[in-house]
């Protein structure tokens, strides 16, 4: 399959079995993830691979971030959402947390390092497709604040770019017609 065909065929798939994914496959995904362009070769990519009980910890962190951002954390509606949020981290047997570390290189621009880590998420999605795995890239408000970074133990200045939920597909999502670039493109020659 050509690269263009793979890009157009790929679909996020959150319909994931709970069966274990071999470490070797996860390592292949991570090796593909770090094959992204990055200015000044800063190697910003940082990953945490969460399986087993580590997913429960992430669920608690997600709920904690949610509660901390509520005007009334003790409100019954807020309290009722906590177990629902905690279970979200159990949607897949593997979660890869993707982040961009702050570079020590004074020439480095943080947005470029974050862009490279973001592209690594796309590489994970594409590699998962080739390996017969289901993957969905999740974010949310807690992804971009310092609190989740602190809870996960990433260094100060590190920026999270996503949570890659990974496993074997329960079923394949239906194919969709992809848009062309026509309506999003301006061609300028002067």
Determine the pLDDT at residue 176: 87
Q: How many residues does the chain have?
A: 190
Judge whether 14 and 89 are in contact, CB under 8 Å: no
Cα angle 78-83-75, degrees, rounded to a multiple of 5: 15
* Residue 50 bridge partners (DSSP): 95
Q: What is the mean pLDDT for each group of 10 consecutive residues in the chain (190 residues)?
A: 86 94 98 97 98 97 95 96 97 98 96 98 96 96 92 97 98 89 95
- Token digits of residue 102: 């702050």
User: For the chain, what are the domain ranges?
Assistant: 3-184
pLDDT score, position 180: 92
- Give the per-residue pLDDT at 1: 73
Rounded CA gap, 12 and 135, in Å?
A: 6
Report the CATH number of the 3-184 domain: 3.40.109.10
Give the per-residue pLDDT at 106: 95
* Per-residue pLDDT at 174: 87
């Amino acid at each position: 399959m050509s690269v263009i065909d793979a890009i157009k065929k790929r679909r996020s798939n959150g319909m994931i079995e709970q069966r274990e994914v071999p470490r070797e496959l996860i390592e292949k995904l991570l090796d593909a993830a770090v094959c992204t362009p990055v200015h000044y070769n800063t190697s910003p990519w940082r990953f945490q691979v969460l399986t087993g009980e580590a997913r429960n910890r992430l669920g608690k962190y997600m709920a904690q971030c949610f509660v901390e951002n509520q005007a009334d954390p003790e409100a019954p509606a807020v309290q009722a959402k906590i177990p629902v949020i905690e279970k979200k981290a159990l949607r897949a047997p593997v979660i890869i947390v993707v982040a961009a570390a702050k570079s020590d290189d004074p020439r480095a621009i943080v947005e470029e390092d974050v862009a490279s880590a973001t592209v690594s998420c796309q590489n994970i999605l594409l590699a998962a497709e080739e390996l017969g795995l289901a993957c969905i890239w999740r974010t949310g408000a807690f992804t971009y604040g310092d609190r989740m970074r602190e809870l996960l133990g990433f260094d100060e200045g590190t920026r999270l770019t996503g949570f890659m939920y990974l496993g074997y597909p329960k079923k394949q999502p239906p194919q969709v017609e992809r848009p062309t670039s026509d309506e999003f493109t301006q061609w300028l020659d002067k």
